[in-house]
Amino acid sequence: MSISRRKTLALLGGGLIVAATASAGTFLATRTPEKALKPWSNAGGYEDPRLFALSYALLAPNPHNRQPWLIELTDKNAFRLHRDTARDLPHTDPYHRQIFIGLGCFVEQMTIAASLKGYSAEISLFPEGADGPIADVVMVEGADADPLGAHIMDRRSCKEPFQDTPVPDAMAAQLQTYGSVWTNPADVESIKDLTWQAWLTEMNTHRTLKESVDLMRFGKAEINANPDGIDLGGPFLESLMVAGLLTKDSQLDPESTGFQEGVKMYQAMLHATPAYISLTTPANTRQDQIEAGRRWLRLNLETTRLGLALHPVSQALQEFDEMVPHHAEAHRLLAKPGETVQMLGRLGFGPHTARTPRWPLETRMMNG
């Protein structure tokens, strides 16, 4: 079971009731949402180089697992990438910055995957301007495989406590290509406090909390039916559901005992963080946001290659009114004047966590 930013929200109403409250046996042994995870096993199973690359791209990290991409096949070996505005996060991401970063992750993973089939991806960003389609892409034969492609299937965002082990200087140096690595204990403590206070602000602002709760998928059946958002499954959480201790209503009550237990668990997870990494851009245009997403995706694959865990904790970078003081502090701590901090992540050694649900490729196609 994963105890994370997503899943601490699920421990409301029941506190730390043990899984034994539910009947054991078949129920607990068959709670994996196989249908929702099928896109992982389907990745790479297409002859068409576009579909081959796209089947891997849809496994890219993205905010709240909204999967905000739509694909329009155009000419032979070409397609257009669109943003699905129905998947915006209007309360936590009112200017859609995080959504565009997620689309940047998709673009980069698509590019890497194309290389595994011997194709390069020629990308024209925003062919009709920043408010139009995200990119036109043409697949061209003749490319060497990107070594990071070997790590796509093992990539995760690890939302678990990390080991009490420093990130080695040599590894930190390798990651400086992607962003600023923070390992000094004083810096780590300052960032840790920032991320904690920002998380509390998001949780204690009703509309932003409700946005997360509305995206929760409870149990195997619901996850399979809606393989996006915040998946709450597995034997422990489903045992709480069966016992009537885990409901959407309970998630919205910060005064409940269970909510407070979840807060304590999230704080303990944040405490178990030996290092951070931040990504900045010179400005904050849509191109900057796409570039940040592409860089974050490569960072996530590189940390996977190195055996490190990475967990985005970017609440302080959100742009709703209540977050303004934390946003300003994040930029004071992490950026030079004029820069925009696009991503902030926990960095360390953590467990290999489960795959997250995805919509099948066919459901994200506008044609074809």
Residue where one domain finishes, among candidates 152, 174, 199: 152
If asked whether residues 173 and 139 sit together in one domain, one would say no
User: Which pLDDT band, with edges at 50, 70 and 90, does 289 fall under?
Assistant: very high
pTM summary value = 0.92
Share of the chain above pLDDT 70, in %: 91
If asked whether residues 9 and 64 sit together in one domain, one would say no
Number of H helices, E strands in the chain: 14, 10
Token readout for 71 is 């694909």
If asked whether residues 283 and 258 sit together in one domain, one would say yes
Residue 354 in domain: no
If asked whether residues 184 and 306 sit together in one domain, one would say yes
If asked whether residues 68 and 213 sit together in one domain, one would say no
If asked whether residues 193 and 320 sit together in one domain, one would say yes
User: Can you give the pLDDT at residue 52?
Assistant: 98
Enclosing domain of residue 286: 5-22+156-348
Q: Reply yes or no on whether the pLDDT at 4 is more than 60.
A: no
User: Can you give the pLDDT at residue 254?
Assistant: 82
If asked whether residues 112 and 251 sit together in one domain, one would say no
Task: List, for residues 216-267, the tens digit of each pLDDT value.
Answer: 998 999 999 999 999 988 887 787 777 777 778 878 888 876 677 778 889 9
Residue where one domain finishes, among candidates 100, 132, 152: 152
Give strand pairing partners of 120: 140
The CATH number assigned to the domain holding 263 equals 3.40.109
Query: Of the candidates 222, 287, 271, which has an alpha carbon nearest to the alpha carbon of residue 248?
Result: 222
Share of the chain above pLDDT 90, in %: 82
Give strand pairing partners of 125: 135
Task: List, for residues 96-110, the tens digit of each pLDDT value.
Answer: 999 999 999 999 999
Token readout for 267 is 């704080």
Rg (CA), the chain: 20
Number of domains in the chain: 2
Q: Beta strand pairing status for 340-348 and 275-281?
A: antiparallel
Query: Of the candidates 169, 153, 143, which has an alpha carbon nearest to the alpha carbon of residue 109?
Result: 153
Task: List, for residues 103-136, the tens digit of each pLDDT value.
Answer: 999 999 999 999 999 999 999 999 999 999 999 9
Type of residue at 49: P
| Residue 65: DSSP 8-state | G
